[in-house]
Chain A
Amino acid sequence: MTITTSARRYLHRNVRARISALLALPLFWLVVIYIGSLAALFITSIWKIDTFTSKVIREFTLQNFIDVFTDRAYFNVTIRTLFVAICVTLICATIAIPMAFFMARIARPRSRPILIALVITPLWASYLVKIYAWRTMFYPETGFINWLISPLGGSSPGFGILAVIIGLTYLWLPYMVLPIYAGMEKLPDSVIDASSDLGAKSGRTFFNIILPITWPSIIAGSIFTFSLSMGDYITVQILGGTFQMLGNVVYQNFSLNLPFAAAVALIPVIIMMVYLGSVRKTGALDNL
């Protein structure tokens, strides 16, 4: 008892000790388990494998990186992955910003929890089931989309990059709506009213006032949609046809050539780090 009391006194007096006490466990977990694993993985990327048994041999080589950077296929797949991630993020933002604005500003306060619940609910339906539902919708002959648009003379686009973009947009849309909604909700009425009182049109108020203030929330949402799209491989397997992304390269090489998979895995990690670094100043990370 006396020990805990004195420890308590010590903590009370010493801020640095208090911070350390609070951070010790969480930092231990993240640094040792998570960062440690990542480091172990990326060290693997400079090792060789036994070409017959596929087991990792701890001998230095740069061959994995040479393979990644000299083979045009991996450059192309990186570009394709970036393209998909950017498209998904932009489409999500285009749909989510008006939706969030509507929910936070137009809908009556009473119906807000219902609208939020409506947006969150799909997150509880299995990821796989949702993607599989899209797969059945995209089937060229018996799919829902074909049934819907064939009377208009169209036909299902089938599996490929377009199906992947639609599928990923569908999956990650709620992750974009929620932070933007939170940002719009915090917006004081006075700011908006001041703008319209000063004679600004709705559009102008939106672009000059609302959008800049909620920008960090939008960036926060984009971190989710962008990173989740960058790393996905299952949706691509189910909806992509022969189309592949970086996640698939990592997944395919993981079985037989872990060092190479690790080298490829560095690409999305670097892209994400650059992205996080460039948006850190906006304060987006506090809005996740």
Chain B
Amino acid sequence: MRVTKLRRFAVVMAASSLLLAGCSSSSDEADSGAYAGPVKDTPGTINVLAWPGYAEDGSTDPNVDWVTPFEEATGCTVNVKTYGTSDEAVQLMQSGGYDVISASGDASLRLIYGGDLQPVNLDLIPNYADIFENLKDRPWNTVDGKNYGVPHGRGANVLQYTIGKVDPAPTSWSVVWEANSPQKGKITAYDSAIYIADAAVYLMSTKPELGITDPYALDQTQFDAAMALLEQQKPLVAEYWADYTKYIGAVQSGSITVGTSWQVIANVLNGEKETVGAVKPVEGATGWSDTWMISSKTEAIDCAYKWLNHIITPDVNAQAAEWFGEAPANSKACALTANKDHCALYHAEETDYWSNVYYWKTPTEQCLDGRTDAKCIPYAEWVKAWSSFRNS
């Protein structure tokens, strides 16, 4: 197994160096180790690792499907696997077998440095030209000048509440954090270490003396304060969620009324009639900016490039963004959404709105907010603390 893999790799390397030798005008991307192209019509199978709602094949709702048209048009077969947290995505990607992934900022760098992703030759993806400029070449999708994927969309982790049960409609995260919350016992929180950042966001406005400027750059004191806030919240929580479909059932049955959520969850819940509301509270929120990336071990490179181009086609990007409830990455998508106000609703073209949305990223020992006088808690310690917290 190993041997054949190595041999295959050697063949690919030899072939690509031949290609490079033949190509006098070798581009930067080719030098960086990215696929030189051109994208051929090789049929194949790609295993897609995606956030729920990003690669819909009609199995959630028969009318929501942008995978089947892709399969019909390209001859590539697509298997979609969804995941609930970035941590799960990192593990699945590292275990091999997946060709493309919709990685958030807290997963992408871990995968790039781990050697699980390959640089992407953007010349082979015509739709990349239409991506919003402020999403291109960002630290979570570009390393050392090499691009590792195409942006998909971005959004904020919203505060969702059941209409009528949470009255008046909340505008602050205090309803999920404060010990005297009227929703005690009906609250939900996200089941991942990255949720510690949500506590930090709340502390940024309630305890300014802690001096938090970036919820992913916490020194020991700030981190301890965030953990203390989580401990305070724990007795209020009915369930921690990582599976969005379980969340939906819990809201429908009334066992959960308020908590952090994704817009897509609210959209599914509001499918028949408006039952929940979703807001970005005054304190701001954590959020995501996601990028489609290609595995360094893929054997279906042509299908992978076709997928990356397909998923950010204005029309598909509009469908996916609307279904998931986020701001699309393709500037031309805004004209194609079913709800004409979609981009305005999700502030796709504004910059102010995003100023207090803190995109997920992986905390490191070197403080991400630029502090040099402090040592920050790296993500591995976040994970340890979270595991201990959940089981204490």
A residues adjacent to B (C-beta < 8 A): 49-55, 67, 71-74, 76-77, 135-136, 139-143, 158-159, 238, 241-242, 244, 248-249, 252-257, 260
Q: Write out the residue numbers on chain A whose beta carbons fall within 8 Å of the beta carbon of B313.
A: none
Whether a CB of chain A sits under 8 angstroms from the CB of B349 is no
Query: A77: which B residues are within 8 A, CB to CB?
Result: 391
Known A-B contacts A76-B391, A142-B253; the reply to A241 vs B246 at CB < 8 A is: no
Q: Are A256 and B383 in contact (CB under 8 A)?
A: yes
Q: Are B110's CB and A159's CB within 8 A?
A: no
Which residues of B93-140 have CB atoms within 8 Å of chain A's CB atoms? 94, 109-111, 113-114
B379 touches A242 (CB 8 A): no
Cβ < 8 Å to A, chain B residues 358-392: 362, 364-365, 378-381, 383-384, 387-392
5 A-B contact pairs sorted by A residue (CB < 8 Å): A52-B378, A241-B239, A252-B390, A253-B383, A256-B91
CB-based contact A249/B238 at 8 Å: no
Contacts A73-B392, A242-B238, A256-B383; is A136 near B253 (CB within 8 Å)? yes
Interface of B is mostly: helix
Residues from chain B with Cβ under 8 Å of A143 in the complex: 253
Please tell me if the beta carbons of A242 and B253 are within 8 angstroms of each other in the complex.
no
Would A252 and B238 be within 8 Å (CB), given that A53-B110, A72-B392 are in contact?
no
Determine the distance from Cα of A253 to Cα of B87 in the docked complex, in whole angstroms: 10
Q: Is A257's CB under 8 angstroms from B383's CB?
A: yes
Interface presence of B204 (CB below 8 A): no
Could you tell me which B residues sit within 8 Å of A by CB distance?
85, 87-88, 90-91, 94, 109-111, 113-114, 193, 234, 237-240, 246, 249, 253-255, 362, 364-365, 378-381, 383-384, 387-392
Residues on the A chain within 8 Å of B111, using CB: 53
Tell me whether A54 and B90 are in contact (CB under 8 A): yes
- 4 tightest CB-CB pairs across the interface, nearest first? A53-B114, A255-B91, A51-B380, A73-B392
Contact yes or no, B390 A244, CB < 8 A: yes
A185 to chain B, nearest CB (A): 42
Say whether, besides A51-B379, A53-B113, A254-B91, A242 and B237 are in contact (CB < 8 Å). yes
Chain A residue, CB-CB nearest to B365: A51
Contact B391 A74 (CB under 8 A): yes
- With A141-B253, A255-B90 already in contact, the answer to whether A55 and B239 are too (CB < 8 A) is no
Q: Other CB < 8 Å A-B pairs besides A238-B246, A253-B387, 9 of them? A: A51-B379, A71-B388, A72-B392, A159-B238, A242-B239, A253-B383, A255-B87, A256-B90, A260-B387
